[in-house]
Amino acid sequence: MNFVMPDLYPASAEIFLLLMALVVLLVDLFAGRRWLTYLLTQLTLAGALGITFFTIDGRTVTTFSGMFIDDMFADLLKLALYPAVAMVLVYSRGYLAARNLDKGEFYVLTLFATLGMMVMISAGHFLSLYLGLEMLALSLYALVAIDRDSARATEAAMKYFVLGAMASGLLLYGMSMVYGATGSLEIAEVGQRIALGGGNRTVLVFGLVFVVAGLAFKLGVVPFHMWVPDVYHGAPTAVTLLIGSAPKLAALAIVMRMLVTGLAELAEHWQVMLMILSALSIALGNLAAIAQTNLKRMLAYSAISHMGFMLLGVLSGIVGGDPRFALNAYSSAMFYVIAYVLMSLGAFGMILLLSRAGFEAEDIEDFRGLNRRSPWFAAIMMILMFSMAGMPFFVGFFAKFAVLQAAIAAKLLWLAVFAVLFSLVGAFYYLRVVKVMYFDAPTDMSPIEGPRDMRILLSLNGLAVALVGLLPQGVLEYSIYATYTFLVGH
Amino acid sequence: MSGLPLLSLAIWLPVIGGLLVLATGADRNAGLARPLALAVAVAGFLVTLPLYAGFDTQTSAMQFVEMRDWIPRFNIHYHLGVDGISVLFILLNSFITPLVVLAGWKVIEDKVAQYMAAFLVMSGIMNGIFAALDAVLFYVFFEVSLIPMYIIIGAWGGPNRVYAAFKFFLYTLLGSLLMLIALIYLFFQSGFSFSLLDWHELKITLTAQTWLFLAFLVAFAVKVPMWPVHTWLPDAHVEAPTGGSVVLAAIMLKLGAYGFLRFSLPIAPDASRELAWLMIALSLIAVVYIGFVALVQTDMKKLIAYSSISHMGFVTLGFFIFNPLGVEGALVQMISHGFVSGAMFLCVGVLYDRMHSRQIADYGGVVNTMPKFAAFFMLFAMANAGLPATSGFVGEFMVILGAVKYNFWIGFAAATTLILGAAYTLWMVKRVVFGAVASPHVAELSDIDAREFAILGALALSVMAMGLYPFPFTEVMHASVDNLLRHVAVPKL
């Protein structure tokens, strides 16, 4: 086999990010000025954004022998990814500095995690998918434990690592089964071979079970959710913010690549599995969130239920072998994820804003009387909470609307009814946050301070949730466009 | 005038004005927030007047229509319009808003700007509900109206306000979520349309109609509220501040009844006829049973709350006997109840501001110290009991006539409300207003001031005018009601 130099151009954003991550590492080591590290990191993300944006050409290109796909779907997801990570950095900075966690490693690991997510999004091959996943996961394990003196964080990191490693094992095992049945690791080729009747169905379905279990773990859906509350709760809030936001975009991408590109022929099987995962997540996530007094844990359970809702979109794409509603359903799932990332960034950002040196504002009670301390940020938090509850004129409503109509289009009326009944349960705990902010008297009157850039960005974040809710067409079209190119691509 | 998007103005002027009021910020600027809120509310009322003046009473078609793309992805339009059924509610709502702002003028000293803004925003949202002709637009307004009311009850309410606010929110959300499923189902049935007018023409099987009817029933019955899903209302009324109770009784309860006319009847006419017995039964239970419940209340607000449920039972009864007298009577009853129940809650508010008690037992002989107030209170109580020459009489009489035409015994049962209503209302007035001065606190009461006089006076005029000459009200709704009933009479299986 001759060695052919692969075409590097489609992966130029990834290559840029990798190089810059190494530069940041060195600059931080030798210059030792944190603001410079921070600035370079942000510039890296901006640069990657620019590269991705200006290399969009509407074509689907594969490189590295089919390992890496550069299509519109990937480009548009990445364009959502960079701002999300940049926002994480803006929100985290003050928090990290106050806790003496503002270390160069944080920035380097965040960049590597971003690179991992980009590779996941562009993965055309089981191996590159797995590599991206592990790159993200290993960076996150280390980030969770970055506050080494915190026993809680260390415990969370251990739990995350052990369970995460097991999930990776499951995923790999499932992939190996699929490989055994089809003789290929390239996702598109796997799809073609199965479509042509290749591979032993029993082996394929057996492998599929493990693949779905592995993906479910990464998404954090019931019954593979056990790590989510503990990690969200135990990790420093800045890291929780990272875990709870951008990786959901990458997770959607690998679910789409694995299940839709690779295993679409087995849709009847994985749809049933996803239905169970989705229903359980919506039910358990919403019920368990009620009992939480810690806001981070509450948002963790809320994340579980939101991922369940997102799966509603993914599982509604193919109705009895008929892919007519695929575009509608998958674009709804994508819209849901983008909306969720926006809301999740804002909600964890609010926790970071209220936290001070030596004080973590992570209990719901810490938001008591926020309306008296800062009417503006109370309003922002209220927008975020009502949006997460799926109230209209906020983006969360149209996200739920989109996946519900996808489910009803797929004749899954019962699942839609089930989902809305549990979102009623969900409304209760979001309302409780609004209640403590607006109906209760504050226990401490210390003013809300935080870096100016963070306060501005957080305000814009909240307003965006309202504005995209009022005029969702743009983002809906964006998701349609991305999904369309994804579906046409194979 | 016709060039202006009047309905959009009626919706967005109060909303944007409310946000402006909010921008005045802290309570030290309350002197600015109050007049600004009043100005916005009055302007909001003024822009709705041309809707009545320019209304063509000869047609049942939608008027003042505005149509724009909103979310082409789901074929959702920003589609507004009013007919004879909805236009009066927009006027009623915009009329009540300045009164509510005035009612909170002195009592609310805490977070004034937020209080005023919440009412203004809610007023705009509720105009949106009545004007929306796109199902998603309707739904969005319908659901978002919960947010300001939740805050109003929870932030300015009584001692048990948190419980009441949650109960209010979750109860009503339960209903509307099931409706959302029904709306999406209709979207696919109708070939990807959310237009209510398209849906009115849509052929649907009886089974599907029945399910749709039940889904709408859950949503609207909670909102009306009908027995047995009424239990949130007494709690919400008792705990809400006066202004909140007024808006709740005068406008919010009408949303459910309006929903029956806009959704259940025209979209599922066959199921409506099939299930009319159920609706009539539930309505009569509300009228009779809740009337008895009202009789034993010791808290004035609770008594009026139960009286509202009983009166709304009358409204749903009028809808489901399918004759013009019944439906028009029910609509008149809705408008009248908007004036009367609002006025009753304002009266209780006047007393509560002075005594900080809503217990009937704490009062007695109020007429001795507050003669002007007593006269108003008496008038509104009479209207609530359905005395001829007040607005309360017109609607009730029409519905009873319609019901007797439909079935004598149903009419008979409905007519008991005239006795029950008189019993609980007048007995309360007797105990509160008349008799000897009951306590030193009552002896120290001061009569209503000019502001309160203006509020109650405006409502008293409306009640009298509507009672003496209801024609301007019935004239507007006539063509639309006829059209609706003709539509319902035709099977669309």
- The nearest CA of chain A is from the CA of B140 a distance in Å of 5
Q: What is the identity of the amino acid at A345?
A: L
**What is the spatial distance between Cα A362 and Cα A355, in angstroms, rounded to a whole number?**
8
Q: Phi first, then psi: give them for residue B195, nearest 5 degrees.
A: -80, 125
- The nearest CA of chain B is from the CA of A415 a distance in Å of 11
Q: Could you give the angle at the alpha carbon of A240 between the alpha carbons of A235 and A244, nearest 5°?
A: 145
In order, the DSSP letters of B159-197 are: TTHHHHHHHHHHHHHHHHHHHHHHHHHHHHHTTS--BHH
The answer, yes or no, to whether residue A205 has pLDDT greater than 50, is yes
pLDDT of residue B368: 83
Q: Which of B77, B179, B180 to mutate to test the interface with A (most CBs of A within 10 A)?
A: B180
Do B117 and B19 meet the contact criterion of CB atoms below 8 Å apart? Answer: yes
Give, for A68, the enclosing helix (H) or strand (E).
strand A68-70
Tokens standing for residue B409? 């015994």
The rounded mean pLDDT for chain A is: 90
**Among candidate residues B101, B57, B119, B103, the one with its CA nearest the CA of residue B83:** B57
In order, the DSSP letters of A299-351 are: HHHHHHHHHHHHHHHHHTS-BTTBGGGHHHHHHHHHHHHHHHHHHHHHHHHHH
pTM exceeds cut of 0.80: yes
- The nearest CA of chain B is from the CA of A380 a distance in Å of 14
The answer, yes or no, to whether residue B416 has pLDDT greater than 80, is yes
pLDDT of residue B485: 86
Say whether B73 and A480 touch across the interface (CB within 8 A). Answer: yes
Which residues, 6 or more positions from B346, have their beta carbon under 8 angstroms from its beta carbon? B99, B103, B242, B246, B455, B456, B459
Q: Does B163 touch chain A (CB under 8 A)?
A: no
Give, for A245, the enclosing helix (H) or strand (E).
none
Do B305 and B238 meet the contact criterion of CB atoms below 8 Å apart? Answer: yes
Q: Which of B121, B160, B177, B192 to mutate to test the interface with A (most CBs of A within 10 A)?
A: B177
Question: What percent of chain B has pLDDT above 70?
Answer: 100
Displacement of CA B403 from its chain's centroid (Å): 23
pLDDT of residue A490: 57
Of the given ranges (B52-61, B265-274, B458-467), which has the lowest mean pLDDT? Answer: B52-61
Chain B CB contacts of A465 below 8 Å: none
Say whether B147 and A416 touch across the interface (CB within 8 A). Answer: no
Q: Which of A439, A470, A477, A479 to mutate to test the interface with B (most CBs of B within 10 A)?
A: A439
Confidence grade of residue A446 (pLDDT, cut at 50, 70, 90): confident
Residue of B nearest to A423 (CA): B177
Do A337 and A249 meet the contact criterion of CB atoms below 8 Å apart? Answer: yes
The rounded mean pLDDT for chain B is: 88
Do B185 and A413 meet the contact criterion of CB atoms below 8 Å apart? Answer: yes
Which residues, 6 or more positions from B254, have their beta carbon under 8 angstroms from its beta carbon? B89, B92, B334, B337, B338
Q: Give chain B's length.
A: 493
CB-facing half-sphere around the CA of A240: CA atoms within 13 A: 30
The answer, yes or no, to whether residue A1 has pLDDT greater than 70, is no
Helices (H), A183-294: 187-195, 201-219, 227-234, 237-243, 247-255, 267-290
Displacement of CA B1 from its chain's centroid (Å): 28
Once rounded to an integer, what is the mean pLDDT over residues A1-11?
Answer: 76
Q: What is the DSSP letter of A366?
A: G
Once rounded to an integer, what is the mean pLDDT over residues B445-474?
Answer: 87
Q: Which of A392, A420, A438 sits opposite B181 (nearest CB)?
A: A420
**What is the spatial distance between Cα A171 and Cα A165, in angstroms, rounded to a whole number?**
10
Helix axes B161-189, B135-144, angle to 10 degrees: 170
Q: Does B19 touch chain A (CB under 8 A)?
A: no
Say whether A435 and B166 touch across the interface (CB within 8 A). Answer: yes
Do A453 and A35 meet the contact criterion of CB atoms below 8 Å apart? Answer: no
pLDDT of residue B451: 86
Domain-wise residue ranges, chain A: 9-489
pLDDT of residue B2: 52
Question: What percent of chain B has pLDDT above 90?
Answer: 25
**What is the spatial distance between Cα B270 and Cα B488, in angstroms, rounded to a whole number?**
8
Of the given ranges (A343-347, B53-57, B374-378), which has the lowest mean pLDDT? Answer: B53-57
Q: Between β-strands B63-71 and B76-82, what pairing exists: parallel, antiparallel or unpaired?
A: antiparallel
Chain A CB contacts of B169 below 8 Å: 427, 431
pLDDT of residue B1: 42
The answer, yes or no, to whether residue B358 has pLDDT greater than 70, is yes
**What is the spatial distance between Cα A177 and Cα A186, in angstroms, rounded to a whole number?**
14
**Among candidate residues B93, B112, B94, B100, the one with its CA nearest the CA of residue B45:** B94
Residue of A nearest to B27 (CA): A372
Q: Does B409 touch chain A (CB under 8 A)?
A: no
Which residues, 6 or more positions from A366, have their beta carbon under 8 angstroms from its beta carbon? A295, A354
Once rounded to an integer, what is the mean pLDDT over residues A321-335?
Answer: 88
